[in-house]
A and B are shown apart, each in its own frame.
Chain A
Amino acid sequence: MSVTTQPAAACAAPRKKPASVRFREHMRRNRLAYILLLPAILVIAIVVIYPFFYAFNLAFTNTNMYNINSPDKTPQYNAGANFTEIFSDPQFYVILGRTVLWTVINVVCHVSLGMGLAILLNRNLKIRALYRTLLVLPWAIPQVIVAMMWRNEFNTQYGSVNLILQSIGLPAVSWLTNPFWAFVAVCIVNIWLGIPFMMIIILGGLQSISPEYYEAAQLDGATAWQQFRRITIPFLKPVLTPAIVLGTVWTFNNLNIIYLITQGGPNNGTQILVTYVYRAAFDYYRYGYSAAFSVIIFLILLVFCLFYIRATRGAGEVT
């Protein structure tokens, strides 16, 4: 009984409330939100939500190019056979391991080199703006062009990388035909590409730290390392956490660089999960298998993000 009377009493009150409160209540009650959302939700339902569930459905079928539109053969549910095939294939674990290695190498280099450059830039330099502009260049160039231009530079005979190596007396490296060196090459390109993003993010974070903290620390005799450890890192954490999550997801899912430079070759030596599944889907037309593979990649990233955000609490919360 008391539960029903309380809202009635609350309803009588608004007459005396100021305009701002009435406004808020109106906003809360009316249907405008749904009207504003409707067009976007319809499109998202078609281009994101439906394909999302369709991918899960597809993952449990044997769909491929030959049975998808054929009148006599229709795709069948195959009781998780795609997942069994993926998890029992030793190559999956090799590629998963390489993807983790690729992600760790890239993100560690992006953050450490980006932070190094940001620290160097975070001071009064006369031509700071010029340095900053030049250093951001790799991020500004379209990735397709970055990949193609580096592929040329890694050419064994005519590429500038080998020409420079030879001019300082080192032997030429067969970059794109040896699996190991091809992996080194794509890592170099992606590190080169990803430093500016981290540098800019970290520079923004550094500029928000008041110099007084450092002055106080110096008065207390703190060493440079102690200042870095106790002042810089804690203050950077709110910008670093989301940047590292984003950087990890982008690197893990980065298809452009590897696909355009090596296509995952030679001999699958630079294949990471996304390049492998892209080729399985669009070069080998294994739709059900690729959908299952995509779902696995998605779940790996989801688990990573949940753990990372829980472990570093404080930033990156969705509210």
Chain B
Amino acid sequence: MAGFFSRARGDSPFKRILIHLLLIFACLVAIYPVLRVLTVSLRPGGSVFSMDLSMIPADATLENYTQILFQSDFWNWLKNSLIVSLSTALVSLILAAPAGYAFSRFKFVGKQPGLVFLLVTQLFPATMLLLPLYIMLIKLSLINTFLGLVFCYMSISLPFSIWILKGYFDTIPIDLEEAAWIDGSTPMGAFFRVILPLSTPALSITALFSFMTAWSEYIIARIVLQNQGLFTWPLGTVTLQGAYYTNWGPFSAAALLISIPVVVLFMATSRYLVSGLTLGAVKG
């Protein structure tokens, strides 16, 4: 078993084959359901319910895609999702960047409890804030508005963004601000002209994660938006499938069309989320 846990080579050929077989099996399990969605999306309307297990059906057609793209509210859903997600991401970023900087650089009354509270918000079950927010939205007549939905999303994305950006600002040495200070900059000026430009990668990734959280959200949107014309794509796609009647073909086509950009974006950025946004920007 020499080197089993290290990256050193030295695996016997038999073991290498075994490792590849295990990994290939795991990959198949990971992607098989997705390939099935592709298969179902290519089936013609009449044979959606089929016992066929082959990957590309013999009578493959793009009619589900044309139906989605030209006959449903697909584009309206995307537009609605885009409005809500962009607003959530932008507002969170504008509010979270200064707050994260304050948490990173200053000592102020309530800093420790504040940080702990930001973490504790992660423990709330969805209904804990959603129910009060829902009642607030009713009283403010904000039910069935994008503003009301963005309002609810802020309760998730804002604490998260502050926490992530605080962690990022902590990695920037204070020397940079000292240099700006010696050059006659005010602390506010140092933040805007030195720290923010340096943090562009972290800022864009934080915004991207707020965006993706809002983009794929269903549970809250279902409560806040009841008017079909305002549906975001998760709401629309679920209605497409229907509660009991399973309209698999168009649903699968829509699911794939929506997933592809999200998956690509996610693949490109997931490592930054995992590494806690430790991008060595100061050296650059």
A associates with B: yes
**Chain A residues packing against B (C-beta within 8 Å):** 19-20, 23-24, 26-28, 30, 32-37, 39-41, 43-44, 47-48, 50-52, 54-55, 58, 68-69, 117, 119-125, 131, 133-145, 148-150, 152-153, 155, 157-158, 160, 163-164, 167, 192, 196, 200-201, 204, 206-207, 209, 211, 214-215, 218, 223-224, 227-228, 231-232, 246, 249, 253, 255-256, 259-260, 273-274, 277-278, 281-282, 287, 290-291, 293-295, 297-298, 301-302, 305, 318
Given contacts A142-B262, A148-B238, contact A134 B215 (CB under 8 A): no
Residue B3 interfacial (CB < 8 Å): yes
- Give chain B interface residues in 233-284, CB to chain A under 8 Å: 234, 237-238, 241, 246, 248, 251-252, 255, 258-259, 262-263, 266-267, 270-271, 274-275
- Which among B33, B116, B128, B182 is the interface contact of A149 at CB below 8 angstroms? B33
Residue B62 interfacial (CB < 8 Å): no
Across the two chains, which residue of chain B brings its CB closest to A24?
A: B174
Known: A34-B102, A125-B23. 11 other contacts (CB 8 A): A26-B181, A50-B136, A54-B132, A68-B138, A141-B259, A200-B270, A224-B5, A255-B126, A294-B125, A294-B128, A301-B123
25 A-B pairs in the complex with CB atoms less than 8 angstroms apart: A20-B175, A26-B187, A27-B105, A39-B98, A40-B162, A47-B158, A50-B132, A58-B135, A121-B23, A124-B7, A131-B27, A141-B34, A141-B259, A142-B215, A157-B51, A209-B5, A214-B5, A214-B8, A281-B134, A291-B127, A291-B131, A294-B128, A301-B125, A318-B112, A318-B119
Given contacts A40-B96, A131-B27, contact A139 B155 (CB under 8 A): no
CB of B216 within 8 A of CB of A133, answer no
Given contacts A142-B234, A211-B6, A227-B4, contact A295 B128 (CB under 8 A): yes
In angstroms, Cα B177 to Cα A136, docked, is 39
CB of B181 within 8 A of CB of A23, answer yes
Across the two chains, which residue of chain A brings its CB closest to B131?
A: A281
Closest-CB distance, A109 to chain B (whole angstroms): 13
How many residues on the B side are at the interface (Cβ–Cβ under 8 A)?
Answer: 104
Residue B58 interfacial (CB < 8 Å): no
CB of B98 within 8 A of CB of A43, answer no
Residue B108 interfacial (CB < 8 Å): yes
Residue B75 interfacial (CB < 8 Å): no
- Give chain B interface residues in 215-232, CB to chain A under 8 Å: 215-216, 218-219, 223
In angstroms, Cα B266 to Cα A183, docked, is 29
Residues on the A chain within 8 Å of B5, using CB: 119, 122, 206, 209, 214, 224, 227-228, 231-232
In angstroms, Cα B130 to Cα A44, docked, is 14
Given contacts A20-B178, A52-B128, A294-B128, contact A149 B37 (CB under 8 A): yes
Given contacts A43-B154, A51-B129, A256-B218, contact A149 B255 (CB under 8 A): yes
- B1-23 interface code vs A (CB 8 A; 1 in, 0 out): 11111111101000000011011
Residue picked from A19, A68, A142, A295, most chain B C-beta under 10 Å: A142
CB of A33 within 8 A of CB of B2, answer no
Closest-CB distance, B257 to chain A (whole angstroms): 11
Residues on the A chain within 8 Å of B32, using CB: 160
In angstroms, Cα B51 to Cα A32, docked, is 66
CB of B127 within 8 A of CB of A163, answer no
